[in-house]
Amino acid sequence: MASEIKPICGLTRTKLAEVVPLRTPYSAFVFPTTFCNFKCIYCAHSLGLEKMKEKYDFSRETMNLETYKKTIEQLCEFPDKIKLLSLTGQGEPLVNPNIGEMVGIAKKTNRFERIEIISNAALLTHQVSDSLIKNGLDTLRISLQGLSSDKYKEICGANVNFDEFMENIRYFYKNKKDTNLFVKIMDVALEEGEEEKFYKLFSDCSDRMYIEKMLPAYDGVEITKEMDAQYDRYGRTIEKRKVCPLPFFMLGVLPNGDLEPCDTIYKPIILGNVHEDTIMNMWNGQKLKDFWIMQLEGNNKNNSKCAVCCAANDVSHPEDVLDNDVNKILERIKGK
């Protein structure tokens, strides 16, 4: 078996409590688009645009190259390389017709240790694959929604020719050079007993594969409405985190250039816009500092967006937990 069964997240992590506040964020999530070609039953897009606007102040927009180039230029101003540039947001990245060029623009700066895309891969044609490979994409993470055309219809409401879909993935894997290809699927998208079928299917056409747990990632989605999970998406038992680690090590840039201190759909606070200020100024600014202090002092439930978000318990890792070091972190931040 060529492929490894491991979570598709980065596996080498620093203990966050020992290094915050960071002079350079570890991760930058730049949203190529907020359009999606799927409406997966566990995702906010299943609610439809009107409901998403009401619940999340969500709008559909695709990032233009002017905003993207300005964003990359500003990210390159940080004193250290950014560990991860993820061209991923609350939409399907391959919807953006410039996605290959976007990878290339960032790659040429040599200021990002890893450039990745998370995609449902339904738009991964041979031409798109060639462009991503040519422009130096480091990691492609593919999120599957089933192992058959019928399951895709059930989970995401889309007509997907599964045989053609698999052929496109195999084409990417066969022709990739230094790109890592990771595949994952939510447990809810598998029929009973299909775990081994999933592993076998991708054993020779991926570098890493994993089955993740469905979690209530989006407030208001019916299928996860009553869930109170005591585990994260990787199946690890967790204690609920009081402090969300995400804003201490990442940033999200929306298609219009707005900056948020995470990559969630909720936009708990907008720090500014890349057309009006620089990302480094916003990272070092009082607005983000106050947001950090609010988190550390246990007042995050006073933020209506943070109050319904499960990201702290979903995608952050054991090394990211800040709960046990709140006082010393506060001293560092207030003294900065």
Q: What percent of the chain has pLDDT over 70?
A: 97
The string over 117-146, giving b where at least 16 C-beta atoms fall within 10 Å of a residue's C-beta and e elsewhere, is bbbbbbebeeebbebbbebbbbbbbbbbbb
pLDDT tens, position by position, 132-175:
999 999 999 999 999 999 999 999 999 999 999 999 999 999 99
Q: Are 253 and 274 spatial neighbours (Cβ–Cβ below 8 Å)? A: yes
Q: What residues are paired with 273 via a beta bridge?
A: 258
With a cut of 60, say whether residue 11 has pLDDT above it: no
Which carries the bigger pLDDT value, residue 146 or residue 310?
146
Distance CA 203, CA 104 (A): 29
Which pLDDT belongs to residue 174? Answer: 97
The residue type at 171: Y
Mind listing the pLDDT tens digit for each residue in 215-271?
A: 878 888 888 877 777 778 887 777 888 999 999 999 999 999 999 999 999 999 999
Is it the case that residue 9 has pLDDT exceeding 80? no
pLDDT at 72: 98
The pLDDT tens digits of the residues spanning 99-134 come to 999 999 999 999 999 999 999 999 999 999 999 999
176-213 b/e with 16+ CB inside 10 Å = b? Answer: beebbbbbbbbebbbeeebeeebbebbeebbbbbbbbb
Residue 1: per-residue pLDDT: 46
- Tokens for 35, please give them: 């359009």
Question: Could you tell me which residue, 323 or 10, shows the higher pLDDT?
Answer: 323
> Quick one: DSSP state of residue 91?
B
pLDDT at 96 (0 to 100): 98
> Using one digit for the tens of pLDDT, what is the confidence trace for 88-101?
989 999 999 999 99
Alpha-carbon torsion (218, 221, 226, 229), positive or negative: negative
**Average pLDDT score over the chain:** 92
Helix (H) or strand (E) holding 100: helix 99-109
Q: Give me 102's structure tokens.
A: 């976007």
Confidence of residue 214 (pLDDT cuts 50, 70, 90): confident
Residue 181 has pLDDT above 60, yes or no: yes
Torsion of CA 319, 44, 49, 68, to 10 degrees: 30
Nearest CA to 291 among 263, 271, 312, 319?
271
pLDDT at 74 over 80: yes
Q: For position 229, what pLDDT does the model report? A: 77
Residue whose pair of structure tokens reads 């952050």 in the numeric block: 316
Percent of the chain with pLDDT over 90: 78
- Number of neighbouring beta carbons within 10 Å of residue 322: 22
pLDDT of residue 240: 83
- 44 band by pLDDT with thresholds 50, 70 and 90: confident
